[in-house]
Structures are given as structure tokens and as C-alpha cells.
Structure 1
Amino acid sequence: MTTNAPRPEILRYTAFSSSPEGGNPAGVVLDATGLDDAAMLAIAAELGYSESAFLTAPPADLGGEGGGGNGDGDGDGRAYTIRYFSPKAEVPFCGHATIATAVALAERTGPGELVFATPAGIVPVAVTEEGGAVLATLTSVEPHTEEIAGTDLAEALAALDWPAADLDPAFPPRIAFAGARHLVLAAATRARLADLAYDFARLEALMHRLDLTTVQLVWRESATVFHVRDPFPVGGVVEDPATGAAAAAFGAYARELGLVPEDAVLTLHQGEDLGRPGELTVTLRAGDPRVHVGGTGTRIV
């Protein structure tokens, strides 16, 4: 952004909750034209949310009516380039900021289909209105999972101060990707998940080495209901209140390991331990490798 450039409008929305006091807050800049990387990072740091989203015009081959996020689309087939910044760095994909941005756009131009060109790939988002609430559902890039080395797992558990015996043996540790990399660890009890006091610097160092965005900590309440928490030291945040990218990665992980059916709708509760409850819906469809993550959102006044 040049010295004399006007400051863009910075919106504040929460995702995965219909209450401003719930879910995960995100900064949203619907027209980031003229902002350079340093300016976007400065805005994200000023807001202090786990991520903020910045829209510009879509790539030429994507088309659409985005026009740099100016809201002139016709309500259908709108396309944008989107980038995400935490207070410390750019991240390749952020689910909650995508949902927040989609809700912000829908409030201006109505529900419909959106397409976001993210650093991780193309992410479509379907926005509907149900009972006065705006619901946005993103479709992830194609996911995958990979093993984690025993030494790296031991270091993660040491940083978390979690004994290996506190893990749920039905959920083997894996690194899962659906736009960003997340280490999935399952707690054997809800009490274990609730007790989170980790070594920030130690976990941050491991996550940088493994190129992880968060650590997805999970406890299974029932066949399709889970409680999750996401330490996010690499973003300068102790814990992310509701993490759409990790939810997508977890959905892929659970399906690949046969922990849930190929056709399934999972409910993830996150933020309860932070006093910001949110709910993420993860939809898996047989024959469709991608994962669909949806939820409500609302503006923070």
C-alpha cells in the first residue's frame, strides 16, 4: 500500500456461530486492492485474530464478477482471489476466515455460489439463508494424510505435556491436509482435552519444522460428534477458537482411516473451553474426495 493510499474498510465477522460472542473471529477486507504483503500483515497483527482475509480480483482464467471484492457481482458465480494472514505470517488456507468472508459478501449481494482462488487451490463456497441465518459451506481442495515419525510424535506429546497413554488408540496420529497441514491427535477422555497447557515455543518450533498450521486435538463423544481444540502458536495465537481448515483435514483423516462412513455428516464442537462455543458441520460424500465444511457466521459490531 502506498503512503497516500486510503485505509481499506476492515470488517470483523465471526464464523461457526450465529452469536458475535461465539465461534472464531476474523478480519475481512473485501477490497484489498493496493495492499502489499506488509500492509496485510500489519492489519492482521492489529486485529489480533487468528486470521484475517483479504480479497482482490480473481485470476484471469477464473473469471467471475468479483472485481477485486467490490461487491458488484450478480449474486451467482462470483469469483475472488483470497489471501489469509495471521498476526505473524501468511497461511495457505483458513476455513473460518473463508466462511466469514462468504457471509460478509452474502450480506451485501445475497446468497449464491462463490469461488475463491486461495494459495492452496480453488475453494468453492455455497451460501444459503435459512431461518434468517446465513449458512456458508466450503469445499476443500483434495485432501490427503501421511504418517508422522515416532520422534516427531514424541516431541509433540512432550510439548503438549500429554502422556502417550492419554491418547485414544482407535485414532492413530497422522498429519492431515485439506488446504493446510494439521497434526491430528485424539484424546482418550474429555478431561484430557479440556486440560491444555502447552509449551508454546517448543510446539511452535516443531510445527515450523513439520510445516503444520495447527495441531488438531480431538475427543470423540459419539459416532458422529466430536469435540476439538487447535493450538496455533505458529500464528502467534495460543489457541484457535474454531478451525475450518482443520475440520476439513480431520474429515479426510477420519474417512481415510475408516473411522466414519464414506457418507457421513460430522458435528465438531470447538471453542467451548475458551468461552467461545462454535459448531462446524463436516460433510463427507461417497465418491467425492473433497470435504465440505459449513457453519453460520455473523458480523461483530
Structure 2
Amino acid sequence: MTADPRRALIVRACSRGGAGGSPTAVVLDGGPFTAEERRAVPVACGTSHAVFVSARDGRASLRFFTAKGELPACGHGTVAALAVLADRSGLPEYRTTLHAGGRSFAGRAVRRAGAFEARFDPGPVTLRETTASERDLVLPLFPAPAGPPVVAFVGRPRMLIPVPSRAGLAAVSPDLGRLRRACDRLGLLGCYLNTVPTAEGRTAARMIGGPPCRRSVR
């Protein structure tokens, strides 16, 4: 049995007001697919990544793939998988135990106005200072940051770069080819630009770059 992309469901994970989101291919795992077959699914579906779901006895195992290979974790993929599982259950509120990246954690999805609001425990986030090589390769592609960038680990590392305003965030338009090459060289998933939090703790953010290059707004 092969991983047929025609069996994939495309979910726009993390949309806002029914718009935007990150298109994710979700495959209800039905066979012993090879890594090559799994890598081919996001390419065929035109998405940056795909999640393969094996559900049994109230638990669901998730595996995430891009065209380059397997990811240890993927937030958009986890949200998309929860939405598909909740839709298949027919329940107004769906709960399960998820297993991915070597850990088990709770997942929940609630049906709301034709869509699903999904939540899960992302696990611990670790931070470290950026290296000189990371700063030299990445920061020239963006306007001057509003504070020191850091590298965060949730599965794969990504660089967090603060910017001063929403207008500045929206205006960012780096050379995506150069950024992808820099991320590939440094082993980064991409760059997550965020505004400085307001007094109420609100912030806006964009994920830009990485293998394969992608751009999303939240």
C-alpha cells in the first residue's frame, strides 16, 4: 500500500475568522508507508507539511513530514489532526491522548460554527542565545530587531526576532531564497518574528522561511 495523496484531507490550521491558516495535509494512516512515500504527500498536495494519524483505543499517534524528511513535532499538524479526528467522531467535544515526538499529551477539539477549536499541550520550550554565525547569516535579511533575538526549541529550533510594531511586522519582506539557505545551513526551522507585547500581553507574529520556505501570519 502506498501513501496516496488523494486520500489526504487539507486542513487550514490556525485560521482566524475563517481566513488564512496553514494548509496541512492529513492522512489517516492505513498502511506501512515508507519515509519516501510520506515525504511525497506534501509535495503532491501543495502543502509545506503532512501529518499521518494512527488512531486506536482513544489514542492517536502522529508523525509529521515535509518534503525534506520527518519533523519531531509540528503545532499546525497537531491542530489539523485534532480537527480531523473530532470531525470523524461526530462529537461536539472530542478528547484524546496524542503521542508524538516521544511523548504523550492530551488533545481536545470543540466544534464551533463549522470549524474546530483545537488545543493541546505543546510541551516544554527551551531557549538559548543566538550564535554569532546565526546572527551574521539571518539578521541582515530583516530590519534591525527591537531586542535581542533568541533560538527556541519546540521540536526543531527556530529563531525568535522581536520587531517594534505591527506595521513593521507586516512590512517585512526578506529574500526568501537567502533565508531558506541560511536556515538550511544553520538547521533552523525558520524565523518567528513577533511584536513587543503590549501592557495587556498581546502580540502579533509571523513565521517566515525554513525548509520548505513558507510564510504564515497569525
Counterpart-to-counterpart distance in 1, 2:31 and 2:38: 11
2:202 partner amino acid? V
The 1:8–1:148 alpha-carbon spacing in structure 2 relative to 1, beyond 3 Å, is same
Contact 2:183 2:209 (C-alpha < 8 Å) held by counterparts: no
1:116 equivalent among 83, 88, 98: 98
- Mapping 1:127-142, distance limit 5 Å: 127-130=109-112, 133-142=115-124
User: 1:112·1:127 contact (CA, 8 Å) conserved in 2?
Assistant: yes
TM-score by length of 1: 0.64
Secondary structure of residue in 1 paired with 2:184: helix
For residues 48 and 129 of structure 1, the distance between their equivalents in structure 2, rounded to whole angstroms, comes to 26
- CA drift at 1:187: 0.9
What whole-Å deviation, never above 9, does each CA across 1:116-144 have from its counterpart, x for those lacking one?
22235334212223566421101012221
With the length of structure 2 as denominator, give the TM-score of the two structures.
0.85
Q: In the alignment, which of 37, 40, 43 is matched to residue 39 of structure 1? A: 37
Q: Which amino acid aligns with 1:137?
A: R
Corresponding residue for residue 86 of structure 1: 66
1:31-55: CA deviation from partner (whole Å, max 9, x where unpaired)? 2423211111111111121211111
State whether residues 176 and 213 of structure 2, in contact with CA within 8 Å, keep that contact through their aligned partners in structure 1. no
- Which of residues 178, 181, 190 is equivalent to 1:214? 190
Instruction: Provide the residue aligned with 2:137 in structure 1.
Output: 155
Higher RCO (CA-CA < 8 Å; seq separation 6+): 1
CA distance in 1, matches of 2:39, 2:193: 27
Maintained 8 Å contact 2:5/2:44: no
CA contact 2:179–2:209 (8 Å) conserved in 1: no
Aligned sequence identity (%): 26
Deviation at residue 20 of structure 1 after TM alignment: 5.7
* Residue 95 (structure 1) aligned with residue 71 (structure 2): no
Q: Is 2:146 the counterpart of 1:168?
A: yes
Counterparts of 1:7 and 1:219, CA distance in 2: 37
SS at match of 1:26: strand
Pick one of 15, 22, 28 that aligns with 1:24.
22
Structure 2 residue 167 is the aligned partner of structure 1 residue 226: no
In 2, the alpha carbon distance for the partners of 1:49 and 1:135 equals 21
Q: How does 1:244-259 map to 2 (within 5 A)?
A: none
Report the alpha carbon displacement of residue 21 of structure 1 after superposing the two structures with TM: 4.1
Q: Closer, same or farther in 2 for the Cα pair 1:6/1:143, shift >3 Å?
A: closer
RMSD over equivalenced CA pairs, Å: 2.5
Counterpart contact for 1:8–1:29, Cα < 8 Å: no
1:120/1:180 contact within 8 Å kept: no
Q: Which amino acid aligns with 2:146?
A: D
Secondary structure at 2:118 match in 1: strand
What's 1:126 paired with?
108
For the structure 1 residues 191 and 43, does the alpha-carbon distance in structure 2 shift closer, same or farther, using more than 3 Å as the test? same
3-state secondary structure, aligned to 1:226: coil
- Aligned partner of 1:285 in structure 2 is none
Instruction: Return the letter of the residue paired with 1:35.
Output: F
Residue 18 of structure 1 and its aligned partner are, at CA, apart by 6.4
Per the alignment, residue 254 of structure 1 pairs with none
Q: By how many angstroms is 1:163 displaced?
A: 4.0
